Amino acid sequence: MSCGLCCDGSLIGFVELGKDEQTSLSLLMEIEKFEEAGFFMLPCINLGCDGCKIYSKRPKQCGKFECGLLKSIEKNELDLDSALEAIRVFKHKKIAIEKQFDTLPFQLVSPSFYFKVLELRNLLKKKRSELSVTPRFVKLLSDIDDLNDQSLKSFGISYF
């Protein structure tokens, strides 16, 4: 379906790399290393308008990823139009949340939507008495919880 949500940082924050693929992929993108492991942060720089620009050389973890919507279509549990509608709704909700991010009294520094959600929740836990009880943050957290519920139902992925 190539919606790109798995690559653009909406659903996933990073991709782990096997030791054997780190060298070849380091020629195509910036690789982070932690001990023997390698990874790169999303959004992926190789996601283009037409999908993955390195599809034939993509990381193993990308190749193993199974989108919940795609699996539902393959099992004839869901038709393509319903899957596309779920993607449209998810993207619409995500955009609405990003607009709320832009009005925060502080800046989220994470590069991906996935990590911005986690960053915000962590900040609000630390400042629970100050910010998280205001109507504005209650709504934002409710919207994030709603998006998380849809992500889990549609894509099989949860932020928390």
d(CA 22, CA 20): 6
Q: Both 57 and 23 in a single domain?
A: yes
Q: Give the strand order in the sheet containing 14-17.
A: 14-17, 37-41, 32-34
Q: Both 28 and 93 in a single domain?
A: no
Q: Both 27 and 60 in a single domain?
A: yes
Q: Which pLDDT score, from 0 to 100, does residue 123 have?
A: 85
d(CA 114, CA 10): 5
Residue numbers of the domain that contains 30 = 14-65
Mean pLDDT by 10 residues, the chain (160 residues): 88 92 88 86 91 91 93 95 96 97 91 94 75 81 95 94
Q: Which pLDDT score, from 0 to 100, does residue 129 have?
A: 59
Number of domains in the chain: 2
Q: Which of 65, 82, 102 is at the close of a domain?
A: 65
Q: Both 39 and 93 in a single domain?
A: no
Q: Which pLDDT score, from 0 to 100, does residue 128 have?
A: 64
Q: Which pLDDT score, from 0 to 100, does residue 27 have?
A: 87
d(CA 94, CA 113): 8
Residue in this structure with the two tokens 């590069």, named with its chain if needed: 111
